[in-house]
Structure 1
Amino acid sequence: MSEETDLFTRLGGTRAIAERMSEAPSTVQSWKSARRIPAHKQADFIGKHAEAGFDVTAEEVIWPFGRPMSSGKSEDLTAAQQSEAA
């Protein structure tokens, strides 16, 4: 995934993803706004996009906008990022 392109854009936008995931576009838009795909949806997300011909990695699903830049110190990460990194 290039630095300029987030996963949602690369996969055709929220409506296209919503259709593949059998979710409402507003649900997928909420994922995009939160900058994360819920953990309980991640495996299904990878599988449905693989079926549609997209190569999606687990890292991309965990960090759909790319890994956050940090100095590596846990205080640089939000609580949600710390729990996902653990």
Structure 2
Amino acid sequence: MEQNISVFELFGGIRPMARHIGEPPSNVAAWKRVGRIPAEKQPHVLEVGLALNLPITAEHVVFPLGRPDAVDDLSLSLCSPPVACHRSGKAQRKDAA
């Protein structure tokens, strides 16, 4: 599912969202600034959004500014090769590859 609107926009902005979920606007503004809603707050935000009949999904709450592009996800996996240690240590099993 592609998300084109942020959770903050769904609520009508930082202040309306803060008022609806019972959080200080400074907290909600910080969530928007860092691009994440604390895990312990996510269920409440989703519950309130659904109670207000907003078209909100769990994805909106987990990715409040939108899901990162697939290209960005791919580039993370291609950053650098894994590091391998070739020294034999006492904790290593002899049959380990």
TM-score of the pair, normalised by structure 2: 0.67
Higher relative CO (CA 8 A, sep ≥ 6), structure 1 or 2? 2
Q: Match of 1:52?
A: 52
Match runs of 1:63-78 below 5 Å: 63-69=63-69, 70=72, 71=74, 73-74=76-77
Distance 2:16 2:26 in 1: 12
Q: Percent identity?
A: 35
The one-character-per-residue Cα deviations of 1:1-39 (angstroms, maximum 9, x if unpaired) are 753x32212220000100111111111001000111110
User: In the alignment, residue 53 of structure 1 is paired with which amino acid?
Assistant: N
Distance 2:19 2:75 in 1: 37
Q: Match of 1:62?
A: 62
CA RMSD of aligned residues (A): 2.0
- For structure 1, which runs of at least 5 residues remain unmatched after alignment? 77-86
- Looking at secondary structure, tell me which structure has more helix per residue: 1
- For structure 2, which runs of at least 5 residues remain unmatched after alignment? 80-97
Cα deviation, residue 51, structure 1: 1.1
User: In the alignment, residue 55 of structure 1 is paired with which amino acid?
Assistant: P
Runs of 4+ in 1 over 6 A off after TM superposition: none
Q: Report the count of equivalent residues.
A: 75
Cα deviation, residue 60, structure 1: 1.1
